[in-house]
C-alpha cells in the first residue's frame, strides 16, 4: 500500500533562524510593517510503501529520527495519508 | 488582530529537485527501500497583524506573490489562523 507523508521540520524555539529573520526583513521592506516574526522550516513530501497505517507511522517516525531532523535543533511533525491514486483498481483490468 | 500563516512553498511538478533526490537516496541507503519519491519544499510561519480574516488572506497572498514564492518554479499554499494567545484579554488588566 502506498503512503504520502508530509513532514514539517521546524527549528526549535530559541534556535536562531537567520533565514526567517531575512525573510521578515524583506517583507517589512516591501511595506508589510505588521510582520512580527517569520520562522523558516522544511517541508518534505515522502512517497513510500508500507503494509499498514501503523507500519507507515512507525517508518516515518524512524526516518525523522535517523535522517530528516536533527533532534537537538529541530522538531519534526507529519501528516500521513494513503495515496488514493495508487490504490485505485483499474476499471478494466 | 494577530494572525499566524503557515505557508508551504513547493516546487512545481516537473522542476528538478536535487535536495529531495538526495534525501531519497539517503533514506534508501538507510534501508528504507520502499521510498519511491521525496520532494522538498519550504515551510514559513509568519506572525502578523491584520484587521480582518479577509485582509489577512489578501496580505498572505500578496506576500507569496511578491517575495515568498517564485511563480515560475514554485507554488505556495497556506493555512491561516488567529493567534489566540495574542487575542486573549488579560485576566487582571
- Check residue B87 and give its pLDDT: 54
pLDDT single digits (tens) A25-58 = 999 999 999 999 999 999 999 999 999 999 999 9
- Check residue B93 and give its pLDDT: 46
- Check residue A86 and give its pLDDT: 61
pLDDT single digits (tens) B5-37 = 999 999 999 999 999 999 999 999 999 999 999
Q: How distant, in Å, are the alpha carbons of A24, A25, A32, A33, B70 from that of A29? A: 9, 6, 7, 8, 18
- Check residue B85 and give its pLDDT: 75
Could A35 and B42 be called an inter-chain contact, meaning their C-beta atoms sit closer than 8 Å? no
φ, ψ for residue A63, nearest 5 deg: -60, -45
Which domains does chain A possess?
2-85 (3.30.1280.10)
pTM surpassing 0.90? Answer: no
CB B4 within 8 A of CB B17: no
What is the ipTM for the molecules in this complex? 0.83
A-contacting residues in B 34-63 (Cβ below 8 Å): 34-50, 59, 63
Could A49 and B36 be called an inter-chain contact, meaning their C-beta atoms sit closer than 8 Å? yes
Question: Distance, in angstroms, between A34 CA and closest chain B CA?
Answer: 5
pLDDT single digits (tens) B47-69 = 999 999 999 999 999 999 999 99
What CA–CA distance (Å, rounded) separates B25 from A68?
12
What CA–CA distance (Å, rounded) separates A15 from A69?
14
| Sheet with B74-82, edge to edge strand ranges | A74-82, A2-11, A35-49, B35-49, B2-11, B74-82
Choose between B36 and A93: higher pLDDT.
B36
- Check residue A93 and give its pLDDT: 46
- Check residue B84 and give its pLDDT: 82
Contacts of A9 in chain B (CB under 8 A): 43
Could A46 and B68 be called an inter-chain contact, meaning their C-beta atoms sit closer than 8 Å? no
C-alpha cell at B45: 510561519
Residue B2 confidence (pLDDT) above 90: yes
Contacts of B10 in chain A (CB under 8 A): 43, 45
Q: How distant, in Å, are the alpha carbons of A93, B15, B83, B93 from that of B40? A: 34, 11, 27, 46
Of B26, B39, B66, the CB nearest to A45: B39
CB A41 within 8 A of CB A24: no
Residue A88 confidence (pLDDT) above 80: no
Amino acid at each position: 500500500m502506498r503512503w504520502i507523508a508530509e513532514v514539517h521540520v521546524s527549528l526549535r524555539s530559541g534556535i536562531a533562524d537567520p533565514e526567517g529573520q531575512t525573510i521578515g526583513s524583506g517583507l517589512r521592506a516591501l511595506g508589510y510593517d505588521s510582520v512580527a516574526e517569520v520562522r523558516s522550516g522544511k517541508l518534505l513530501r515522502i512517497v513510500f510503501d508500507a503494509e499498514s497505517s501503523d507500519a507507515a507511522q512507525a517508518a516515518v517516525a524512524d526516518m525523522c529520527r535517523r535522517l530528516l531532523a536533527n533532534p537537538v535543533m529541530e522538531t519534526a511533525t507529519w501528516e500521513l495519508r494513503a495515496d488514493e491514486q495508487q490504490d485505485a483498481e483499474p476499471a478494466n483490468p
